[in-house]
Amino acid sequence: DADVTQTPRNRITKTGKRIMLECSQTKGHDRMYWYRQDPGLGLRLIYYSFDVKDINKGEISDGYSVSRQAQAKFSLSLESAIPNQTALYFCATSDLREEQFFGPGTRLTVL
Amino acid sequence: AQKITQTQPGMFVQEKEAVTLDCTYDTSDPSYGLFWYKQPSSGEMIFLIYQGSYDQQNATEGRYSLNFQKARKSANLVISASQLGDSAMYFCAMREDLTGTASKLTFGTGTRLQVTL
């Protein structure tokens, strides 16, 4: 079984819809992250969490919110999706060295 | 200001040859870490190699080595004996320390490597 899982793997939605991307991990790490990847821009950090009670904004948090339901679960929500949020979204976990273990990604398309 | 710079959008290398992917970084912190990840066309991010700022020797992992030149702030990835399966996007990333034990990774824009016969 994969250490970091993301659901759904692919999603097509319409402008204005609320959508949640879920991430679960079995690595026992406290640190979890959400990134988005756009062509030519690499990975950019949306939100990160160092434990259940700690949530921090990354460089592009506008339009997104997160919930850390448990050590193993970190969800990303788009309250009202817009087309420029079409991207590949990655969840990741890390140990203290910050080697990040990535999930398989969620490809989101907002029409 | 961009903290991780990968100046090669695309590279070609012949099978069995070595290739160097460039990465420069910018930080004033004495303690930092540098990473390389591979992203094949299937999309997953695969960790390749790590170099700590205090490490005396260049990191190596199989066919991957990291040419760490601290004074020049460069952390180039060297792939020896390229294989067709090395064709992928490669990302350099740097750990930035925040407060206390908190830190995060910043990624470069990537280099697309194509291995040819």
Contact A102 B44 (CB under 8 A): yes
Task: Give the 3-state secondary structure of residue A85.
Answer: helix
pLDDT per position as a tens digit, A53-97: 889 999 899 999 999 999 999 999 999 999 999 999 999 998 776
Between B75 and B96, the higher pLDDT residue: B75
Min distance B112 CA to chain A CA atoms (Å): 10
Contact B45 A96 (CB under 8 A): no
pLDDT per position as a tens digit, B52-86: 999 989 999 999 999 999 999 999 999 999 999 99
pLDDT per position as a tens digit, A21-63: 999 999 999 899 999 999 877 899 999 998 888 899 998 999 9
- CA-to-CA distance for B65 and B67, rounded, in angstroms? 6
Candidates A23, A36, A99, A106: best to mutate against B (most CBs of B within 10 A) is A99
Whole-number percent of chain B with pLDDT over 90: 76
- Can you give the pLDDT at residue A95? 77
Query: Across the strands, what pairs with A7?
Result: A22
Whole-number Cα distances in Å, B77 to A15, B66, B67, B74? 41, 5, 6, 10
Least CB–CB distance from A42: residue in B50, B103, B110: B110
Angle CA(A63)–CA(A43)–CA(A95) in degrees, nearest 5?
100
Min distance A90 CA to chain B CA atoms (Å): 9
Is the four-CA dihedral A76, A96, B93, A103 of positive or negative sign? negative
Candidates B89, B99, B107: best to mutate against A (most CBs of A within 10 A) is B107
